[in-house]
Amino acid sequence: MLKDKTIGIIGVGKMGSALLTGLLNVGIDKKNIIVSDISDKAEVIKEKYGVRFMTNPELAKESDIIILAVQPIDIFECLQNIYPFVDNSKLIISIAAGIKVEVMRSILKKGRFIRVMPNIAAIVKQAASAIYCGPRTTKEDEEVAMAILGLVGEVVVIHNERYMDAVTGLSGSGPAYVFEVIEALADGGVKVGLRREDALKLAAQTVKGAAELVLKTGKHPAELKDMVASPGGTTIYGLAELEKRGTRGGFIEAVWAATKRSEELGS
């Protein structure tokens, strides 16, 4: 599906480089991959990955699939750069948070559009990603996007674009919330006498293990929580402290706030 396509990636930051590495790891020929980024990174990128480096317009002209791995603040200039070279044969996959399909179409006029929202765990192939396929995309386009994002983690399909902002607020921003949890757990361990390196390793593995239990058992988190919290035991005392401090509400409001910010970026 991907091997007969020329794939262009505009922006080789964390997300762009993670997708690029994934494509190369599954055997996509280097000659079928083109990248674009700020000019002073050209030699470094060519030396590290061995792929072709072009300007945005050159990349758009040569590519069947154009991945926009840029920040929302940069996407409008990027779209204007590639506008003359986009026609209805091109599949545009955008990672820019909050930027709606109709906004991109209003600038490019032509092309087929898919919005995607991965997260930073793409770097270690553990991303939680969602895709939304615009009105003129095909089933093959959806499969292409699923295949590309599947290289760096798990993927879900969102059928209503309005919920892509919610995805941004939850899984797009979510790793930062979890990093806070890991750091706080480790600090708690240090407070009660553990060495910093031991506390951090225990905290990170605890979060990883808990996530695996949710994903692999299919049990509701509340059920798993009850499996840990025995009557009158240590865990229920800890949970009571979290409830006192409104921890659950804080996470809910964090997702809400990030979602609203994504909506603002799109407007």
What does the alpha-carbon distance between residue 111 and residue 83 come to, in Å, rounded to a whole number? 10
Same domain, 150 and 216: no
Task: Share the mean pLDDT of the chain.
Answer: 93
Same domain, 67 and 148: yes
Same domain, 154 and 179: no
Taking each helix axis from N to C terminus, what angle separates 14-25 and 139-150, rounded to the nearest 10 degrees?
A: 100
What does the alpha-carbon distance between residue 173 and residue 121 come to, in Å, rounded to a whole number? 11
Give residue-wise pLDDT tens across range 227-260.
999 999 999 999 999 999 999 999 999 999 999 9
The mean per-residue pLDDT over the stretch 85-97 comes to: 94
The mean per-residue pLDDT over the stretch 99-121 comes to: 94
The verdict on residue 88 lying in a domain is yes
Structure tokens at 58: 């050159």
Residue 42, pLDDT score: 79
Q: Where are the alpha helices (DSSP H) in the chain?
A: 14-25, 42-49, 56-62, 72-82, 101-108, 139-150, 164-167, 174-191, 196-217, 221-228, 234-244, 247-266
Strands 7-10 and 127-133: unpaired
Same domain, 153 and 211: no
The verdict on residue 165 lying in a domain is no
The verdict on residue 1 lying in a domain is no
Structure tokens at 98: 């909050």
Same domain, 97 and 197: no
Residue 159, pLDDT score: 94
Report the number of distinct structural domains present in the chain: 2
Share of the chain above pLDDT 70, in %: 100
Residue 218, pLDDT score: 95
- pLDDT greater than 80 at residue 40: no
> Last residue of a domain, which of 114, 129, 160?
160
- 2 pLDDT tier (thresholds 50, 70, 90): confident
The verdict on residue 138 lying in a domain is yes
The verdict on residue 166 lying in a domain is no
Which structural domain, as residue segments, surrounds residue 71? 7-160
Same domain, 151 and 179: no
Any idea what the CATH number is for the domain that residue 67 is in? 3.40.50.720
> Last residue of a domain, which of 128, 160, 192?
160
The mean per-residue pLDDT over the stretch 11-26 comes to: 90
